[in-house]
Amino acid sequence: MIIYIHPGFDKRLNQGRDVEIPVKINTIHEDLSKSLRLGVEARTYQFSLNQGLA
């Protein structure tokens, strides 16, 4: 799995602007892909809660 954080991510986040985090998963095993996706979604949501964004 590759997660790419663009330059200026923290600045945009601190300004309350929308940010994108591209994620690429390279696997042929569907269950593993789903597990990775769900894990990333859960961590992203937790980050949003911690930042007061959700």
More confident residue, 6 or 32: 6
Is residue 17 very low, low, confident or very high in pLDDT (cuts 50, 70, 90)? confident
How many domains does the chain contain in total? 1
Specify the pLDDT at position 7.
92
Domain that holds residue 19: 2-50
CA-CA distance, 52 to 54, in Å (whole number)? 6
Q: Write the CB contacts of 52 (distance below 8 Å, at least 6 apart in sequence).
A: none
CA-CA distance, 6 to 34, in Å (whole number)? 24
CA-CA distance, 42 to 54, in Å (whole number)? 12
Specify the pLDDT at position 28.
66
Single out the residue of 32, 15, 33 nearest to residue 23, CA to CA.
33
